Amino acid sequence: MSNRIALTSLCLFIGLTVFAQNGSKWEFGVKGGVNYSDQQAYKWPSSASIDLNKFYNQSTEWLLGLNAGLHGKLRLSEKVGLNADLVYNQRGFKGITKDSSFQDVNYSSRFHYLSLPLYGNLRLMPRLAFELGAETSYFLNLGGKYGDTKRNGESNESVTNLDFGLIAGLSFELTDRLSLQGRYYRGLKDVFDVTFTDVNGTELDINPRFINHGVQLSLTVFPF
């Protein structure tokens, strides 16, 4: 299912590019900014001693990351447009855990993605527009820190190759060649492809879900 979503997104991106080469009002730009993200975990099995659903989400904190890439904007009318981006995204979370000596250790997990957001925009005011669409991301690698030890360029077989979710936000044209964009991303697909078992090795009836979500702020320059 995820592969079909990614293929459809890629075909739409190519289609918009081809359409743009046939005299349409297409604008290209470069963009960059920051992400502020976390990971939600829920549907943990019930425990007599602790509510893991509540514990996990309270014990993790939001992580600051980067985004950078290309932006394409196709004006369909004065108020309606289509957009397609191709960007490098950093998402993840941080928190505090216990080491083997039961001492507190700070850690962070940073997921690196190549993302393809496709979304429409509706102009609310002369320079302000509402944006809504979907985003498909391909997993590149996993990094972060555990205490003072950095983990960079790691691959992880338990991480799913594709992340998919919905995006919504606002964009504001500062000038004709400069635009500010803020959006929220809500993942719909599990970040990890893992199966949990009990102490006897029997697969649990309920497996937790791990979902990316966060906000993104970026600045786009239209040099062309």
Which has more confidence, 219 or 23? 219
Q: How far apart are CA 153 and CA 198, in angstroms?
A: 32
pLDDT at 1 over 50: no
Q: Which two tokens stand for residue 54?
A: 């509540």
Of 59, 74, 159, 71, nearest in space to 111 by CA: 159
Q: Is 56 helix (H, G, I), strand (E, B) or coil?
A: helix
Q: How far apart are CA 196 and CA 174, in angstroms?
A: 49
Q: How far apart are CA 116 and CA 201, in angstroms?
A: 39
pLDDT in tens, 102-111: 677 888 889 9
Q: So what's the pLDDT on residue 2?
A: 46
Strand 104-123, strand 80-98: pairing: antiparallel
Q: So what's the pLDDT on residue 199?
A: 60
Distance of CA 125 to the CA centre of its chain: 28
* Averaged pLDDT, 215-223: 95
pLDDT in tens, 17-76: 555 444 457 889 999 999 999 988 777 666 545 566 666 666 678 999 999 999 999 988
- The lowest-confidence range among 8-17, 58-67, 195-204 is 8-17
pTM summary value: 0.81
* SS3 assignment for 127-193: CEEEEEEEEEEEEEEEEEEECCEEEEEECCCCECCEEEEEEEEEEEEEECCEEEEEEEEEECCCCEC
Which has more confidence, 44 or 191? 191
* Averaged pLDDT, 196-218: 77
Q: Which long-range contacts (CB under 8 A, 24 or more apart) does 197-203 make?
A: none
* Averaged pLDDT, 183-196: 86
Q: Which two tokens stand for residue 63?
A: 């992580």
Inter-residue contact 144 to 107 (CB < 8 Å): yes
Ordered domains of the chain (ranges, CATH): 2-221 (2.40.160.20)
Which has more confidence, 94 or 119? 119
Q: So what's the pLDDT on residue 150?
A: 79
pLDDT in tens, 134-185: 999 999 999 888 777 777 655 577 888 999 999 999 999 999 899 999 999 9
